[in-house]
Amino acid sequence: MMTRRDALKKTALSAAAVSLVTLPETNFAQAAAPTGPFKLPPLPYALDALEPHIDAKTMEIHHGRHHQAYITNLNKAVATDAKLAGTSLDELIRHLDEVPEAVRAAVRNNGGGHYNHSLFWQTMKKGGGGVPKGALGSAIEKTFGSFEKFKTAFSDAAMKQFGSGWAWLILEEKDLKVVSSPNQDVPFVHGKYPLLGVDVWEHAYYLKYQNKRADYVSAFFNVINWDVVTSRFEKPEL
Ligand SMILES: [Fe+2]
């Protein structure tokens, strides 16, 4: 019986063969349907819920335009192949090597953008912040020495990410780690599972903070939804 992964691989191979045929650009443009399997998830709170830390205008543009653009472009990429269009976002992200080369970069960038932003909205809330309790709080203290030391490590990763990207708290096998990633790359392969990420693309903060990324990252700690992060820590999908 063919597994979904096998099916995707088979599709990738046949699509790779097809991609050797040069199609006129107009054909590709016509194939780019305006709709597709991926939809913009609604924000779990009002646009102004994270004020004053993250302003409503930034949220409106970030969610409604930037996140939507990743979804639109992801839908265009998967529209090139029926099997791809039926593959979940998690599967696409985890098995990029099985995505046809012709659309792999588009899936990596736009699928990653969709995944990262969907998680980002969920891990913030009105009146968030504070210190995580329970097993996650204990694991952070054990790994980093204290919550403050974790905060410093996470903030440093956010500041040192050159250009656009993300800083992350991830679970790698059973260990907590702070890492960063460029562009929309997702730390979601080979036993890695993202728990919390902060978007350090300028579109995430420039309207309110201009070039002061450190102030934005500091403010982000006031809106973190630790309940969601703790839930991901307790039930990781490794
Ligand atoms: Fe973003």
The enclosing domain of 212 has a CATH number of 3.55.40.20
pLDDT score of 167: 98
Q: Residues 71-116: pLDDT tens digits?
A: 999 999 999 998 999 999 999 999 999 999 999 999 999 999 999 9
CA–centroid distance, 77 to ligand 1, in Å, is 20
**130 or 237, which is more confident:** 130
Predicted confidence (pLDDT) at residue 33 exceeds the cutoff of 80: no
CA–centroid distance, 196 to ligand 1, in Å, is 14
Domain annotation covers residue 178? yes
Predicted confidence (pLDDT) at residue 27 exceeds the cutoff of 90: no
Predicted confidence (pLDDT) at residue 6 exceeds the cutoff of 80: no
| Lowest-pLDDT range of 24-28, 81-85, 148-152, 182-186 | 24-28
CA–centroid distance, 133 to ligand 1, in Å, is 28
Domain annotation covers residue 2? yes
pLDDT score of 235: 94
Domain annotation covers residue 28? no
Strand ranges of the sheet holding 175-182, from the earlier edge strand across to the other edge: 175-182, 165-172, 192-199
Average pLDDT over all residues of the chain:
88
Clarify whether residues 99 and 1 are in a common domain. Answer: yes
Mean pLDDT over 208-237 rounds to 97
Residues, Cβ < 5 Å to ion ligand 1: 199, 201, 204
pLDDT score of 178: 98
Clarify whether residues 205 and 144 are in a common domain. Answer: yes
Q: What percent of the chain has pLDDT over 90?
A: 82
pLDDT score of 35: 78
Q: Which domain holds residue 207?
A: 134-234
CA–centroid distance, 17 to ligand 1, in Å, is 34
CA–centroid distance, 62 to ligand 1, in Å, is 6
CA–centroid distance, 161 to ligand 1, in Å, is 14
Identify the CATH number of the domain in which residue 62 sits.
1.10.287.990
Q: DSSP secondary structure string, 117-143? A: HHHHHHTB-TT--S---HHHHHHHHHH
Clarify whether residues 196 and 107 are in a common domain. Answer: no
Domain annotation covers residue 21? no
pLDDT score of 238: 78
CA–centroid distance, 182 to ligand 1, in Å, is 12
Q: Angle of helix 68-78 relative to helix 112-122, nearest 10 degrees?
A: 140
CA–centroid distance, 10 to ligand 1, in Å, is 33
pTM (2 decimals)? 0.85
Domain annotation covers residue 152? yes
Clarify whether residues 103 and 155 are in a common domain. Answer: no
Q: Residues 165-205: pLDDT tens digits?
A: 999 999 999 999 999 999 999 999 888 999 999 999 999 99
Of 89, 122, 155, the one marking the end of a domain is 122
Confidence category of residue 237, pLDDT binned at 50, 70, 90: confident
The one-letter amino acid code at 51 reads E
Clarify whether residues 70 and 144 are in a common domain. Answer: no
CA–centroid distance, 13 to ligand 1, in Å, is 32
CA–centroid distance, 36 to ligand 1, in Å, is 21
CA–centroid distance, 227 to ligand 1, in Å, is 22
Q: DSSP secondary structure string, 155-182? A: HHHHHHS-SSEEEEEEEETTEEEEEEEE
CA–centroid distance, 168 to ligand 1, in Å, is 14
CA–centroid distance, 114 to ligand 1, in Å, is 9
- Phi/psi of residue 63, each to 5°? -75, -50
pLDDT score of 196: 98
CA–centroid distance, 142 to ligand 1, in Å, is 31
